């Protein structure tokens, strides 16, 4: 078969493979065997088939229809990328939507067969899917990877070397982390625990890699037994010295592709702890059918989310270095804008170069978003060589960027004035700022389910009949994934795992987006810290970790309360105090000007 160059040709090849296997519909999730958000190229099947490059989306193909379900962050991007492909954009409000299940239930008929690769779909997702199909008498096949036969020149699996995350930044040993997880296993009455989520494995073993863009993780699975730990990984990624150190801590290596066979051979009488949201159907089916199973969140997910006091201190220092880099960047920008040629691509290059000059920097934590005016209205916009804007004239520039450092992960969004912002732009900016401050100043009982806090950020905008389509906040890792759970400040249905605990780091990032005009988002990272314990309960509050001025030129002062002005002035004084020793010259001058009280 010749290489398929167009999306319609790829869909035609898939439909031919479906016909040969007597498949009526094929579901292609944005997923891999680790249920990762960001995928190595080998598993970017939905992107390859559809041409849509967003990080989230579900593709369904039948013999005469094809639809891609994408949430509001990606509507404009998806509409452009799907144009002429024969794939319809199916708009959903949030990534957690199950509207594609409704569509399948409506369009599939009794006796039809739906295929989805069981190795890349989560157990919980299959359970929800099966529940909808059973009532329709639709057969589900999960033993096929139809793309394997049609995806010519499929990229290979990544081969980056694995390395240790060392003290002082790794302040808890892998022995202590393994012991904590085994204690949780005992509490669940489990003999074994299987983990596929890459950030859990990296955290648990104090290892890092570079198999996934921007996230310092490596492709692997992990099996914990009563007195054994097996890391399923490509052995060529682990040098002899590291293999010996892992072995000294009781961690043995096995081939990455042998995980299923090892699971199959486990004692039938033993009990397995697994997380249905963090394990694929394929691995669940590989376990002995009669093996008792306990379904609960991975203990490492909860342990990892609550940063230790030592980690929090490293993160504070990292935020200072990141803030100093941003001072250097913004000083350059203010001198250059409307004086020399600057594009959205220039922003990415300059901001990454500024961070690279800082101690402990490893890489960006995600692809920089730099959107001027109308491009800023696309929450997940990315400038390319083929399509980007020049930054000149008047308006708003939105920059969402972050860095991976040995001492933490950063994620920050700032909107800055280019020329003179309009009164309408200043109003939107100030409403977003009020949402950021309203949530940042919150006190709440320990154990509050994080989605319950979402309305605090939206309330100032709701008063003006304005809303935004994405979540308000996501968890952030410690030199790990920039998006981590279990907590999320959003309109998601809450569950017990989302309880806010001391040490969790979460983003606060409300926004307003006016398609074709401009976008505003202000994002800080915050740390849950103890507030007060009294007769009403044990309360937490947010410590704002991010250190970078907020552009006061974009503020409509009449919309801010005295309390909000005081918070902003106090924040800017703290930013100035902590960053001033780290910068000099034009960067220092910019910092002093940008942090003047209002």
**Class of 163-297 per CATH?**
alpha beta
List the beta strands (DSSP E) in 490-523.
505-508, 511-514, 518-521
Give every CB contact of residue 464 below 8 A, 6+ residues apart in sequence: 431
Which pLDDT value is given to residue 5?
Answer: 76
Angstrom CA distances, 436 to 220, 392, 508, stand at: 38, 28, 6
Domain 306-594 is of which CATH architecture? Alpha-Beta Complex (3.90)
pTM for this structure?
A: 0.92
Which pLDDT value is given to residue 3?
Answer: 53
Alpha-carbon distance 572 to 20, whole Å? 65
Domain(s) labelled CATH 3.40.350.10 in the chain stretch across: 7-149, 163-297
Alpha-carbon distance 431 to 411, whole Å? 21
Which pLDDT value is given to residue 73?
Answer: 77
SS3 413: strand
Mapped to the 3 state alphabet, what secondary structure does 329-380 carry? HHHHHHHHCCCCCCEHHHHHHHHHHHHHCCCCEEEECCCCEEEEHHHHHCCC
Angstrom CA distances, 337 to 129, 343, 385, stand at: 52, 10, 20
Give every CB contact of residue 294 below 8 A, 6+ residues apart in sequence: 188, 189, 190, 271, 272, 273, 274
Which pLDDT value is given to residue 463?
Answer: 97
Alpha-carbon distance 94 to 79, whole Å? 17
Alpha-carbon distance 200 to 174, whole Å? 12
Judge contact between 126 and 104, C-beta under 8 A: no
pLDDT tens digits, the chain, 598 residues: what are they? 345 579 999 999 999 999 999 999 999 999 999 999 889 999 999 999 999 988 889 999 999 999 999 987 788 888 889 999 999 999 987 777 788 998 998 899 999 999 999 999 999 899 888 888 888 889 999 999 999 889 988 999 999 999 999 999 999 999 999 999 999 999 999 999 999 999 999 999 999 999 999 999 999 999 999 999 999 999 999 999 999 999 999 999 999 999 999 999 999 999 999 999 999 999 999 999 999 999 999 999 999 999 999 999 999 999 999 999 999 999 999 999 989 999 999 999 999 999 999 999 999 999 999 999 999 998 888 888 888 989 999 999 999 999 999 999 999 999 999 999 999 999 999 999 999 999 999 999 999 999 999 999 999 999 999 999 899 999 999 999 999 989 999 998 888 999 999 999 999 999 999 999 999 999 999 999 999 999 999 999 999 999 999 999 999 999 999 999 999 999 999 999 999 999 999 999 999 999 999 9
Q: Indicate the helix (H) or strand (E) that contains 208.
A: strand 207-208
Which pLDDT value is given to residue 4?
Answer: 56
Alpha-carbon distance 467 to 109, whole Å? 38
Angstrom CA distances, 307 to 353, 478, 502, stand at: 28, 8, 8
Backbone angles phi, psi at 263, to 5 degrees: -60, -40
Q: Indicate the helix (H) or strand (E) that contains 123.
A: helix 123-134
Judge contact between 10 and 49, C-beta under 8 A: yes
Judge contact between 57 and 364, C-beta under 8 A: no
- Structure-block tokens of residue 170: 């790794």
Mapped to the 3 state alphabet, what secondary structure does 243-298 carry? HHHHHHCCEEEECHHHHHHHHHCCCCCCCEEECCCCCEHHHHHHCCCCCCEEECCC
Which pLDDT value is given to residue 56?
Answer: 87
Give me the helix-helix angle, 562-579 and 309-336, nearest 10°: 90
- CB neighbourhood size of 429 (10 A): 27
- Structure-block tokens of residue 214: 């921007």
Which pLDDT value is given to residue 454?
Answer: 97
Which pLDDT value is given to residue 135?
Answer: 81
Alpha-carbon distance 94 to 19, whole Å? 33
Angstrom CA distances, 10 to 85, 99, 183, 236, 434, stand at: 10, 25, 49, 34, 47
- The verdict on domain 7-149 having CATH code 3.40.350.10 is yes
Which pLDDT value is given to residue 1?
Answer: 37
Give me the helix-helix angle, 562-579 and 585-594, nearest 10°: 160
Task: Identify the CA nearest to 90 among candidates 104, 77, 76, 100.
Answer: 100
Alpha-carbon distance 292 to 269, whole Å? 7
Which pLDDT value is given to residue 237?
Answer: 97
Domain(s) labelled CATH 3.90.230.10 in the chain stretch across: 306-594
Strands 251-254 and 229-232: parallel
Q: Residue length, the chain?
A: 598
> What does 523-575 look like in DSSP terms, one character per residue?
BEEEEEEEEEEETTEEEEEEEE-------GGG--GGG--HHHHHHHHHHHHHH
Mapped to the 3 state alphabet, what secondary structure does 430-450 carry? HHHHHHHHHHHCCEEECCCEH
């Amino acid at each position: 078969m010749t290489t398929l160059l167009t999306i319609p040709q790829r869909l035609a090849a898939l439909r031919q493979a479906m016909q040969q296997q007597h498949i009526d519909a094929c579901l292609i999730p944005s997923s891999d065997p680790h249920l990762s958000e960001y995928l190595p190229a080998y598993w970017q099947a939905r992107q390859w088939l559809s041409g849509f490059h967003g990080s989230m989306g579900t593709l369904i193909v039948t013999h005469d229809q094809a639809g891609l379900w994408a949430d509001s962050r990606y509507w404009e991007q998806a509409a452009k990328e799907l144009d002429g492909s024969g794939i319809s954009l199916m708009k959903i409000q949030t990534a957690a939507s199950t509207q594609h299940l409704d569509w399948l239930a409506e369009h599939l008929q009794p006796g039809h067969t739906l295929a989805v690769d069981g190795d890349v779909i989560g157990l919980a997702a299959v359970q929800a899917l099966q529940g909808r199909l059973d009532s329709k008498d639709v057969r589900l096949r999960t033993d096929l990877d139809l793309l394997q036969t049609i995806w010519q020149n499929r990229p290979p699996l990544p081969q980056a070397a694995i390395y240790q995350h060392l003290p002082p930044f790794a302040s808890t040993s892998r022995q202590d982390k393994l012991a904590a997880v085994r204690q949780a296993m005992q509490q669940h009455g489990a003999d074994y625990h299987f983990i596929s989520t890459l950030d859990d494995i990296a955290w648990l073993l104090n290892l890092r890699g570079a198999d996934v863009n921007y996230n310092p993780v490596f492709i692997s699975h992990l099996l914990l037994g009563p007195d054994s730990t097996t890391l399923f990984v490509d052995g060529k990624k682990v040098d002899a010295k590291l293999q010996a150190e892992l072995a000294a801590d009781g961690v043995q290596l096995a081939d990455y592709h042998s995980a299923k066979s090892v699971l199959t051979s486990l004692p039938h009488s033993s009990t397995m702890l697994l997380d249905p949201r963090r394990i694929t159907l394929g691995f669940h089916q590989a376990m002995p059918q009669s093996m008792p199973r306990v379904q609960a969140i991975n203990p490492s997910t909860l342990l990892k989310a609550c940063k230790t006091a030592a980690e929090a201190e490293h993160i504070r220092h990292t935020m200072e270095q990141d803030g100093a880099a941003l001072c250097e960047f913004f000083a350059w920008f203010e001198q250059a804008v409307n004086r020399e040629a600057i594009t959205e691509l220039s922003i990415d290059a300059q901001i990454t170069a500024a961070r690279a000059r800082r101690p402990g920097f490893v890489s960006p934590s995600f692809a920089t978003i730099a959107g001027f005016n109308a491009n800023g209205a696309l929450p997940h916009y990315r400038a390319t060589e083929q399509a980007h804007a020049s930054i000149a004239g008047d308006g708003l520039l939105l920059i969402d960027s972050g860095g991976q450092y040995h001492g933490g992960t950063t994620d920050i969004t700032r909107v800055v004035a280019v020329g003179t912002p309009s009164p309408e732009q200043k109003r939107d900016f100030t409403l977003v700022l009020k949402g950021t401050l309203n949530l940042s100043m919150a006190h709440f009982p320990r154990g509050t389910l994080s989605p319950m806090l979402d309305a605090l950020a939206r309330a100032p905008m709701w008063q003006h009949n304005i809303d935004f389509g994405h979540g308000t906040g996501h968890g952030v890792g410690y030199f790990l994934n920039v998006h981590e759970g279990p907590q999320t400040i959003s309109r998601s249905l809450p569950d017990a795992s989302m309880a806010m605990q001391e040490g969790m780091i979460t983003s606060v990032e409300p926004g307003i987006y006016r398609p074709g005009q401009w976008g505003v988002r202000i994002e800080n990272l915050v740390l849950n810290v103890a507030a007060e314990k009294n007769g009403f309960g044990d309360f937490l509050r947010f410590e704002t970790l991010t250190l970078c001025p907020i552009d006061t030129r974009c503020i409509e002062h009449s919309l801010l309360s005295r309390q909000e002005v005081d918070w902003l002035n106090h924040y800017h004084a703290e930013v100035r105090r902590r960053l001033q020793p780290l910068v000099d010259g034009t960067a220092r001058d910019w910092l002093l000007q940008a942090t003047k009280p209002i």
